Structure 1
Amino acid sequence: MLPSIDDLVRDAHVVALPLRNRFRGVDVREALLVEGPRGWTEFSPFVEYEPAEASTWLRAAIDFGWGDETAPLRDRVPVNATLPAVDAALVAGILDRYPGCRTVKVKVAEPGQSLAGDVARVRAAREYVGAAGRVRVDANMHWSVDETLAALEALAPFDLEYVEQPCRTVAELAAVRAAGTGVPVAADESVRKAADPLAVARAGAADLLVIKAQPLGGVAAATRIVREAGLPVVVSSAIDTSVGLSMGAYLAAAVPALPHDCGLGTAAMLNADVTREPLLPSGGAVDVRRIDVDIDLLRQHAAPAERRAWWLDRIRACHALLDENGGAYRPE
């Protein structure tokens, strides 16, 4: 059954954690943390999401804190380094925060930036990891089909592992894939923000899927999507605290095969966390483990009172939507 709203808000903590580098327009990551019977869990939909979308993130938080345990198939998950849309001169310093990682995910197509800047950033990432490393790019839906094809031509010398969500629609992804660039197409927003997360797989519009635990309703729900999609997956995160990353690690540990490194090393992007033992990459991987939250750190990084009130109002609105659905917190 759905926990009561009192159970969720009574001891909830809202934190505001600064990022080392601006990432997708965000300098500070806010999150709500609460301890359930199974341990600490996280509710951290981006602030612009309305309750209808954010309620799925609450479903995930409840699943991780109150739901059934999922038996992990592995105790370590290989992860990629995440490179924000920074100047090429900053690349090496950022990638040094990801010891042992053989893969770099490079943000491209940042509004206000140029393709030349993207090329320089990707070149620096390739030089850092060498010929044996892997470089993938993520455009976050900012390119048209023609812009994607032009960008992939410009980036061809760097042997891309894949391009993630270059365009907005499933039809556009299918057109990029049909163009025969030789670069696999990964779908992210077309999975986690879609009414039907399997539509992109059914349309043959992607070679692999990027799967995130919170936006898809939790470990159990996301695992079903992976099984039904029948495509290779990369388990990723959304600039979570170590608690949210732990949820992602348990999801990755439940997926039978992981041919690609996962996007779960992003604790390295934070200037602060909620635990003395953050889920940082070590030897190119992160552990699959629950997080021991430090109450002193929760207090130290507590969001201002007005932001805490905003998050409590938000979780109440999302809880009401789940309650309207009969208390179910796992999508069928």
Structure 2
Amino acid sequence: MTLPPLAELVERAHVVALPLTTRFRGVDVREAMVIEGPAGWTEFSPFLEYADDEAAVWLTAAVEFGWLPSPPTHRDSVAVNATVPAISSDRVGDVLARFDGCRTAKVKVAERGQVLGDDIARVRAVREAMGPEGRVRIDANGGWNLDEAEHALHALAEFDLEYAEQPCASVDELAELRRRIGYMGIPIAADESVRKADDPIAVARAGAADLIVIKAQPLGGVARALSIVAEAGLPAVVSSALDTSIGLAMGVALAASLPELDYDCGLGTASLFAADVTAPPLRPAGGRLPVGRVSVDPAAVAALAVSDDRRRWWLDRLERCHGVLAASR
């Protein structure tokens, strides 16, 4: 894939700030650069704290999606889950109501500053709202150590968990936890151990996970994510990185390209935004998202534009990341 000139990227770029309806992992406003590529709109939105080497991987994904045709697909829509931030249990119903028709809910747990009792109350409220037929999974983002994770999963097992995502941070911890709780029948999913790892296959090689969570931008695009899934040999769930609807369309393209897709995907997160860059936003309808490019609303892009200082910050970041990719070639 040829890297477009920096000047071309800058000319096509817009920087926006999307407000969230509920704080999510410490974020109230999500900043993103959206770029009108020859093949369609694309997104470059590494989190603000990421260093340039890691952020440059996200730029690779943006260029691939914006400059190349989408890969062949196996389905024309993708089932998605609701995402419940680390909120108080009395707010669960309001959040779930934003995810039309979703039969699965992913619940954030192990939030800094909270205790296991908060997690139990939240997961209980989600299970009650979803009913016995609903699917409930949890995501700790590596927030527990090994003993904490084992204790927490014992406490949460009564809610019939579909799986536990990244309960511990390291591959060794995941492998040991999987050994300890094997009798409980709760599968372990790896997210950060895939997308933030120098070797994304290590978690599969170590037998540390039952499935992997993949994200298009952090893994460098659809093609690389597909190759990781093929090499890992494990079922995959496609999830978002709190993308705009443009980035979510990239994730849907990835999910639609997987030969097998056994789990609902975490791509419904546009429902967490109070505003978005597309009309309409790519939100679940009947628990599904359609496959295809999205149409950007110029008025929304203008209304959500960041300040001149923030635009300059993003353009400087784009230049540095472009330099990282140019040097690697």
* TM-score normalised by length of structure 1: 0.97
Cα deviation for residue 276 of structure 1 reads 1.1
2:66 matches 1:65: yes
Cα deviation for residue 323 of structure 1 reads 0.3
Show the counterpart of 2:306.
Answer: 303
Cα deviation for residue 72 of structure 1 reads 1.4
2:83 matches 1:82: yes
Q: Give 2:320's match in structure 1, choosing from 309, 317, 321.
A: 317
Show the counterpart of 1:208.
Answer: 211
Cα deviation for residue 291 of structure 1 reads 1.0
The C-alpha deviation readout for 1:248-271, integer Å capped at 9, x for no partner, is 000000001111100000000000
Q: Which amino acid aligns with 2:37?
A: G
Cα deviation for residue 36 of structure 1 reads 0.8
Q: Provide the rounded CA distance (Å) in 2 between the counterparts of 1:304 and 1:199.
A: 42
Cα deviation for residue 71 of structure 1 reads 1.2
Show the counterpart of 1:275.
Answer: 278
Q: Provide the rounded CA distance (Å) in 1 between the counterparts of 2:253 and 2:327.
A: 29
Q: Give 1:217's match in structure 2, choosing from 213, 216, 220.
A: 220
Show the counterpart of 2:229.
Answer: 226
Cα deviation for residue 67 of structure 1 reads 2.2
Cα deviation for residue 294 of structure 1 reads 1.2
Show the counterpart of 1:199.
Answer: 202
Cα deviation for residue 278 of structure 1 reads 1.2
Name the Cα RMSD after superposition: 0.7
Cα deviation for residue 10 of structure 1 reads 1.2
Cα deviation for residue 14 of structure 1 reads 0.2
Q: Provide the rounded CA distance (Å) in 1 between the counterparts of 2:288 and 2:297.
A: 23
Contact 2:12/2:37 (8 A) holds in 1: no
Q: Provide the rounded CA distance (Å) in 2 between the counterparts of 1:132 and 1:176.
A: 27
The C-alpha deviation readout for 1:56-81, integer Å capped at 9, x for no partner, is 00000000001243011111000000
Cα deviation for residue 201 of structure 1 reads 0.7
Contact 2:216/2:251 (8 A) holds in 1: yes
Equivalence map 1:30-179=2 (5 Å): 30-179=31-180
Q: Which amino acid aligns with 1:10?
A: E
Cα deviation for residue 119 of structure 1 reads 0.2
Show the counterpart of 1:244.
Answer: 247
Identity %: 61
Contact 2:71/2:253 (8 A) holds in 1: yes
Q: Provide the rounded CA distance (Å) in 2 between the counterparts of 1:69 and 1:231.
A: 23
Secondary structure, aligned partner of 2:12: coil
Q: Which amino acid aligns with 2:172?
A: A
Show the counterpart of 1:235.
Answer: 238
The C-alpha deviation readout for 1:8-50, integer Å capped at 9, x for no partner, is 1113100000000000000000000111110000000000000
Could you list the structure 1 runs, at least 4 aligned residues long, displaced by more than 4 angstroms after superposition.
Answer: none
Q: Which amino acid aligns with 2:74?
A: L
2:261 matches 1:258: yes
Q: Provide the rounded CA distance (Å) in 1 between the counterparts of 2:147 and 2:267.
A: 31
Q: Which amino acid aligns with 1:285?
A: R
Show the counterpart of 1:330.
Answer: none
Cα deviation for residue 92 of structure 1 reads 0.6
Q: Provide the rounded CA distance (Å) in 1 between the counterparts of 2:117 and 2:70.
A: 47
Cα deviation for residue 244 of structure 1 reads 0.1
* TM-score normalised by length of structure 2: 0.98
Q: Provide the rounded CA distance (Å) in 1 between the counterparts of 2:62 and 2:95.
A: 30
The C-alpha deviation readout for 1:297-323, integer Å capped at 9, x for no partner, is 111000111111000000111110100
Q: Provide the rounded CA distance (Å) in 1 between the counterparts of 2:141 and 2:102.
A: 22
Cα deviation for residue 118 of structure 1 reads 0.3
Q: Provide the rounded CA distance (Å) in 1 between the counterparts of 2:51 and 2:130.
A: 39
Secondary structure, aligned partner of 2:148: helix
Unaligned runs of 5+ in 2: none
Q: Which amino acid aligns with 2:31?
A: E
Moved more, 65-74 or 212-221: 65-74
Contact 2:70/2:253 (8 A) holds in 1: no
Q: Provide the rounded CA distance (Å) in 2 between the counterparts of 1:142 and 1:211.
A: 19
Q: How many residues align?
A: 326
Q: Provide the rounded CA distance (Å) in 2 between the counterparts of 1:121 and 1:110.
A: 12
